[in-house]
Amino acid sequence: MLKPLGNRVIIERKEQEETTKSGIVLTDSAKEKSNEGVVVAVGSGRLLDNGETVAPEVKEGDSVVFQEYAGSEIKRGEETYLILNVEDILAIIEK
Amino acid sequence: MLKPLGNRVIIERKEQEETTKSGIVLTDSAKEKSNEGVVVAVGSGRLLDNGETVAPEVKEGDSVVFQEYAGSEIKRGEETYLILNVEDILAIIEK
Amino acid sequence: MLKPLGNRVIIERKEQEETTKSGIVLTDSAKEKSNEGVVVAVGSGRLLDNGETVAPEVKEGDSVVFQEYAGSEIKRGEETYLILNVEDILAIIEK
Amino acid sequence: MLKPLGNRVIIERKEQEETTKSGIVLTDSAKEKSNEGVVVAVGSGRLLDNGETVAPEVKEGDSVVFQEYAGSEIKRGEETYLILNVEDILAIIEK
Amino acid sequence: MLKPLGNRVIIERKEQEETTKSGIVLTDSAKEKSNEGVVVAVGSGRLLDNGETVAPEVKEGDSVVFQEYAGSEIKRGEETYLILNVEDILAIIEK
Amino acid sequence: MLKPLGNRVIIERKEQEETTKSGIVLTDSAKEKSNEGVVVAVGSGRLLDNGETVAPEVKEGDSVVFQEYAGSEIKRGEETYLILNVEDILAIIEK
Amino acid sequence: MLKPLGNRVIIERKEQEETTKSGIVLTDSAKEKSNEGVVVAVGSGRLLDNGETVAPEVKEGDSVVFQEYAGSEIKRGEETYLILNVEDILAIIEK
């Protein structure tokens, strides 16, 4: 598994719908990437100038919406994950 | 529902008038987006360098004017919300 | 009324002269916007890194000169106001 | 009179010589603006992050040399003044 | 050996696969550089504004994923190493 | 005389050689400006965020090497001086 | 001799090899500049915002690798030295 460093989290991106509202099946290249996902790992947090660390406001299992185009994708085996700065997470999706 | 992170708020944008002053009915594409709205959710606030958090100056239900083109739009079901940094809110509209 | 947030103030811009020195009447589009005005509302002030807030150096009713092209205009009914950062105010005009 | 805000001062610019060394009389448009002047008003000073204010290093009546092209010009009646950040003053001219 | 300064680490980059999934043998120029590697040396850490030093979150022997195109390559004899800022390390690969 | 403000010093630039190594006499326009000189006046120093001032590391009479193209030139009578930020001084030339 | 100011060091650059691996003798213009060298002088260090100075992590005689194209070259007599910010030194070469 991956353990993110500092103020980063690892996200498993939500799959996009395979069909549009009007029922058209989308090929892979036509699909826009979702900016929603689930947090799968959380770093130690943000290091302040006084030497303290502030833990991220999200935790494993949280569904989140994040800034489009933010972060770096990394592949582990078959899976692709997104590594994000916590600052790029806009909101938690609560049920 | 969406819970904004950090120094962010979620805004429901005010609907633009459907007709101009001279009575012309506007189509959707001709309508400029309003930069007024109502705060529907408030994040924990701004994290200072000393580790304290300062709550936003706005609260749920406040009508606000914000910087044009600021923030990120996100769709939840039928609704589109705007996620803004508190710094992009210019003023509260008081009645 | 509008209540500015943070280190902002609301300004009612001074009307420009309708005629030039040589007596020519100016149309609206030929008039440059004045960078003088009167403060009509004052925000809470600047938030310092130690969590304290420093009130703006101007108060309601002050006549001020401000940086040209600074700030955002907002319309309330018939009136157009200017929302400025206090840093964009250059000087107070004392009588 | 004008009272500058924050870390600003108001300068009355020194008149440029009307004739060149070789005796040619300069028209207004041919004259470069001087970057010397006299301080006519001083703001409260620089606000530090700890909330203290540090008074400017210049006082009314000081002759100063400043960064070329710095600051904003404002007209009051017949006079044109220059509003400068104290950081744009290079040196005091001592007699 | 190399001893990195400040908040830097030295990385031995993971070799890329010599063949693609479909079995094609890659020449050197066709190989993209891996953004995975092993930490071989660690600097003293990040110097805070209060004069304290915070040790890096990684240690010698850690397998890491880092920002693509980050850092500087240096050659020592036959080997090429990568010197990275700790901030450019995205995550530790745990077994 | 000129008294520099803040973290600035005034430099009298070293004259460039009038002839090249091969004995060619240089005209004024062909001479590159020297980036060496002597400190003739020193400002109060750098103002820290805690309100303290740190005196410059150079003193009157020091021969110094400075960043090329840094600073502002000012003329006083026949002389041209250079006003530099202390940060643009690279080294003191010791005898 | 030269005494570097602040967080700077003076470096004597390592001579590049005169011949390539295949035995071709390089002319001066074909030689890339080395980014290795020896520290010959060390400044007082980095001035922190609290007024303390932190000495550089390198000392006279250290062999170092530095960022390519960093720093300023200065000539003293026959010698050319490189003045670097300590931040541009990547690593110390230990024997």
Q: Over pLDDT 90: what percentage of chain C?
A: 65
Report how far apart the first and last C-alpha atoms of chain E are (Å, whole number): 27
Residue A61 is given by DSSP the state: T
pLDDT of residue B20: 66
Question: Which chains border B (3 or more CB–CB pairs < 8 Å)?
Answer: A, C
pLDDT of residue C15: 81
pLDDT of residue F29: 63
pLDDT of residue B36: 94
Chain E contact set for G67 (CB, 8 A): 72
Q: Looking at the complex, does the CB of residue B90 fall below 8 Å from at least one CB of chain C?
A: yes
Interchain proximity F57–G1, CB inside 8 Å: no
Q: Over pLDDT 90: what percentage of chain B?
A: 65
Q: What is the mean pLDDT of residues C55-64?
A: 97
Interchain proximity G2–F50, CB inside 8 Å: no
Q: How far apart are CA G30 and CA G7, in angstroms?
A: 32
Q: How far apart are CA G93 and CA G81, in angstroms?
A: 19
F32: confidence class by pLDDT, cuts 50, 70, 90: confident
Q: What is the mean pLDDT of residues A66-73?
A: 93
Please name every residue paired with B13 in a beta bridge, in sequence order, or none if there are none.
Answer: B37
B66-80, C7-21, F18-32, G25-39: least confident range: F18-32
pLDDT of residue B15: 81
pLDDT of residue F34: 87
Query: Among D10, D44, D74, whose Cβ lies nearest the Cβ of C57?
Result: D44
- Using a 10 angstrom Cβ sphere, with 0-12 exposed, 13-18 middle and 19 or more buried, the burial of residue G34 is middle
- The dihedrals phi and psi of G22, each to the nearest 5 degrees, come to -85, 5
Q: How far apart are CA G95 and CA G93, in angstroms?
A: 7
Chain B contact set for C6 (CB, 8 A): 57, 87
Digit-coded pLDDT (tens) for B33-77: 889 999 999 999 999 988 899 999 999 999 999 999 999 999 888
Chain B contact set for A54 (CB, 8 A): 47, 51
Digit-coded pLDDT (tens) for F59-93: 999 999 999 999 999 988 889 999 999 999 999 99
Interchain proximity C51–B49, CB inside 8 Å: no
Interchain proximity C74–B87, CB inside 8 Å: no
Q: Which of C38, C14, C36, C16 is nearest to C27 (CA)?
A: C16
B10: confidence class by pLDDT, cuts 50, 70, 90: very high
Q: Looking at the complex, does the CB of residue F28 fall below 8 Å from at least one CB of chain G?
A: no
* CATH code of domain D8-14+32-92: 2.30.33.40
How far does the CA of residue C76 sit from the closest CA of chain B (Å)?
A: 10
Name the residue ranges covered by the structural domains of chain D.
Answer: 8-14+32-92
* A8 close to A55: Cβ distance less than 8 angstroms: no
State the DSSP string of chain D: -EEE-TTEEEEEEPPPPSB-TT-PBPPGGGPPPPSEEEEEEE-S-EEPTTS-EE--S--TT-EEEE-TT-SEEEEETTEEEEEEEGGGEEEEE--
Place of tokens 């700890």: D50
Chain centroid offset of residue G50 CA: 28
Place of tokens 């209540």: C3
Query: Among B54, B65, B87, whose Cβ lies nearest the Cβ of C2?
Result: B65
How far does the CA of residue B13 sit from the closest CA of chain C (Å)?
A: 16
Q: How far apart are CA F87 and CA G5, in angstroms?
A: 8
* E94 close to A1: Cβ distance less than 8 angstroms: yes
G49: confidence class by pLDDT, cuts 50, 70, 90: confident
pLDDT of residue G60: 97
| Buried-state track C8-47, b at ≥16 Cβ within 10 A, e below 16 | bbbbebbeeeeeeeeeeeeeeeeeeeebbbebbbbbbbbb
Is A8 strand, coil or helix?
strand
- Using a 10 angstrom Cβ sphere, with 0-12 exposed, 13-18 middle and 19 or more buried, the burial of residue B87 is middle
Which of A74, A75, A83, A86 should be substituted to probe chain E, the one whose Cβ sees the most E Cβ atoms within 10 Å?
A: A74
The two tokens of residue E2 are 């190399």
Q: Looking at the complex, does the CB of residue D49 fall below 8 Å from at least one CB of chain F?
A: yes
Helix intervals (H) in chain B: none
Q: Which of E44, E83, E3 is nearest to G64 (CA)?
A: E3
Q: What's the Cα-to-Cα distance from D4 to each of B46, D78, G25, rounded to whole Å?
A: 31, 19, 67
| More reliable by pLDDT, C30 or G16 | G16
Digit-coded pLDDT (tens) for E34-82: 899 999 999 999 999 888 999 999 999 999 999 999 999 998 888 999 9
Interchain proximity B6–A48, CB inside 8 Å: no
Cα torsion angle, E13, E18, E23, E24, sign: positive
* D46 close to D85: Cβ distance less than 8 angstroms: no
Digit-coded pLDDT (tens) for A3-16: 999 999 999 999 87
pLDDT of residue F6: 95
* C50 close to D51: Cβ distance less than 8 angstroms: yes
Chain E contact set for G92 (CB, 8 A): 2-3, 5
- Determine the residue of chain G that is closest to E42 in CA distance: G91
How far does the CA of residue B57 sit from the closest CA of chain A (Å)?
A: 19
Interchain proximity B94–C1, CB inside 8 Å: yes
Chain C contact set for D76 (CB, 8 A): 93
A50: confidence class by pLDDT, cuts 50, 70, 90: confident
Q: Looking at the complex, does the CB of residue D32 fall below 8 Å from at least one CB of chain F?
A: no
State the DSSP string of C47-93: EPTTS-EE--S--TT-EEEE-TT-SEEEEETTEEEEEEEGGGEEEEE
Chain F contact set for G2 (CB, 8 A): 65, 91-94
pLDDT of residue E10: 97
Q: What is the mean pLDDT of residues B70-93?
A: 93
**Residue E33 pLDDT exceeds 90:** no
pLDDT of residue D34: 87
Interchain proximity C90–D4, CB inside 8 Å: yes
Q: Looking at the complex, does the CB of residue A47 fall below 8 Å from at least one CB of chain B?
A: no
Chain A contact set for B52 (CB, 8 A): none
Per-window interface: C 61-80 vs D, CB < 8 A = 65, 67-68
- Averaged pLDDT score across all residues of chain G: 89
Cα torsion angle, F78, F79, F83, F84, sign: positive
Largest CA distance in chain C: 55
Interchain proximity B74–A90, CB inside 8 Å: yes
Q: How far apart are CA E8 and CA E2, in angstroms?
A: 11
Query: In chain D, which stretches have pLDDT less than 50?
Result: none
Q: Over pLDDT 90: what percentage of chain F?
A: 65
Chain F contact set for G6 (CB, 8 A): 57, 87
- Using a 10 angstrom Cβ sphere, with 0-12 exposed, 13-18 middle and 19 or more buried, the burial of residue B95 is exposed
| More reliable by pLDDT, C4 or C19 | C4
- Determine the residue of chain C that is closest to D74 in CA distance: C65
Q: How far apart are CA D8 and CA D1, in angstroms?
A: 15
* D2 close to D12: Cβ distance less than 8 angstroms: no
The two tokens of residue A28 are 């892979």
C77: confidence class by pLDDT, cuts 50, 70, 90: confident
pLDDT of residue A41: 97
What value of ipTM does the predicted structure carry?
Answer: 0.83
Chain C contact set for B67 (CB, 8 A): 72
* C23 close to C58: Cβ distance less than 8 angstroms: no
